[in-house]
Chains A and B, each alone.
Chain A
Amino acid sequence: METFLIIGGALLFIFIVLYNTLISKKNQVDNIFAGLDAILKKRYDLIPNLVATLKEYMLHEAGTFEKITSLRSQALQPSLNAHDKMALDKELSSMLSSLMVTVENYPVLKANENFLHLQHTLHEVEEQISAARRAYNQSVTDYNNALEMFPTNLLAGFMRLEKKEVLRIDVAERENVNVKNLFR
């Protein structure tokens, strides 16, 4: 009887540890995604100011501004799922970076204090976003590993946990910006 109790207790203990490991990894992914979301929101908050400042100078880019504004309002909808949110963010990122390249054609902007401040803040937020993406990917990898590795995989099947996708970073984004190529 005693042996049975010891074995039962040990099994229960192992079950609790494995269960908690999986749940904490899952929550870690959600947590970091919330962090990433908060930083993305910081960038969305910058956009109206940026657009207002640039509009005065860059009259030919009206179409781009409209697109950016509409992407921003789409991205701010609370009903979006993670996948769509990331897709919108990717589009917005590439539009903003090409806009920042076009800015080089407007020397007068580079003397505008307000614009310079916005540009630097945007750059800082971009760095934070990239850090948050890396943190998110690591947490997803940890979580996916737990789902596939023995013995947590046995329990994950019962708990109906599903693998999550890491955020892909485009090769072009990963490379350092080559200033020479930009101004060719």
Chain B
Amino acid sequence: MATLSSLLEYYYETMQEALLPLEEERKRIVKKLQTTAFYIGLGVIVFFIVLHKQMHFSPLQASVFSVMIGFLIFMFVYRHEKAGFTAVFKDQVIEKLLYQIDASLIYRKESAIGEQEYRRSELFLEAYDRFEGSDLVSGSIAKVDVRFSFLHTQQKERDSKGKERWETIFQGLFFCADFNKAFKSKTVVLPDVAERSLGVLGTWLQGMNVTRGSLMKLDHVEFEKVFVVYGDDPIESRYILSHALMEKIVLLQRKINRPIYLSFVASRIYIAIAYTKSLFEPILTRSLLEFSYIKEYFELLNTAVGIVEELKLNERLWSKR
């Protein structure tokens, strides 16, 4: 894991200067988008007048129609411009920050954790209709094989009016690694929403969740408050979730302060950290020359890379050596 001070040094001594051309490119794109928006705005007004006066649309119809066309054209230009910038941004910012943290890791901006691995984790049992991911990091951290990437899975739903919409199942960082103990059963640790909001009734409801295996009550008060555990072998679940590991998971949760999902399947650990936005994507309106902006990406990568050390996954028991 790298420290913030090492990033500061690297940023001001090497990175900032290298980012100048990219910053110029960003400014050019923003300007281009502003100009495009202006002309599209004019176009929308002209189109509205034509629709309303010449083709006798009602004002409401004409405005909806013209604004929609204008918006679609703008989004097309925006996406096209942003895609090119994002690719360069990932090479120049994300990859370099990652190498600054650990130069032995491999970064592939267009790859992601596969569907098979996502399903094997059993963290999210809902059937998905759209599976997207990017920014795969793989390699060995303290001799532990690790892979993580951004993932976004969605489900197509229809509301009462039959209108189609996409519901997010999971969006965020998906991490998997070799676990330091050998085991055969399956244990799933989920954020405890029911117990926190419903109390005893919540615990009772959790026990009724038949798709997840049996509910495990663990002997760590703090951990029990934040998480709910399901598993198919009570002894093995406790073998995996030792007191020390539960303590570390609680600390990790506090540090990240986001919903964390963990599962232990076939001697591997899967961790999903939920976010409400895309990760590793640039924000066009923010300057690359602002340290605080770059720092956010660094901290995200550092957290992911740091999981191995945080959970002490490198301290292996004999059978896993």
Decide if B318 touches A121 in the complex (CB within 8 Å).
yes
Decide if A132 touches B235 in the complex (CB within 8 Å).
yes
Task: Give the nearest-CB partner of B321 in chain A.
Answer: A120
A17 within 8 A of B: no
How far is the CB of A24 from the nearest CB of chain B, in Å?
Answer: 11
- Chain B 289-321 against A: per-residue CB contact (8 Å), 1 yes, 0 no? 000000000000000000000000000011100
Decide if B318 touches A131 in the complex (CB within 8 Å).
no
How many residues of chain B get a CB closer than 8 Å to chain A's CBs?
15
Cα distance, A121 to B182, chains bound together (Å): 12
CB-CB under 8 A for A139 and B317, given A127-B242, A131-B239, A134-B219: no
With most chain B CB atoms within 10 A of its CB, the pick from A36, A39, A127 is A127
Decide if B235 touches A124 in the complex (CB within 8 Å).
no
A70 within 8 A of B: no
- Chain A 53-97 against B: per-residue CB contact (8 Å), 1 yes, 0 no? 000000000000000000000000000000000000000000000
Q: Which of A120, A131, A139 contacts B236 (CB 8 A)?
A: A131
Decide if B242 touches A138 in the complex (CB within 8 Å).
no
Decide if A131 touches B317 in the complex (CB within 8 Å).
no
Decide if A128 touches B239 in the complex (CB within 8 Å).
yes
A146 within 8 A of B: no
With a cutoff of 8 Å between Cβ atoms, the chain B residues found around residue A39 in the complex are 235
Decide if B238 touches A134 in the complex (CB within 8 Å).
yes
Cα distance, A123 to B239, chains bound together (Å): 12
With a cutoff of 8 Å between Cβ atoms, the chain B residues found around residue A36 in the complex are 235
With a cutoff of 8 Å between Cβ atoms, the chain B residues found around residue A130 in the complex are 242
The interface of chain B, by Cβ under 8 A from chain A, is: 181, 216-219, 234-239, 242, 317-319
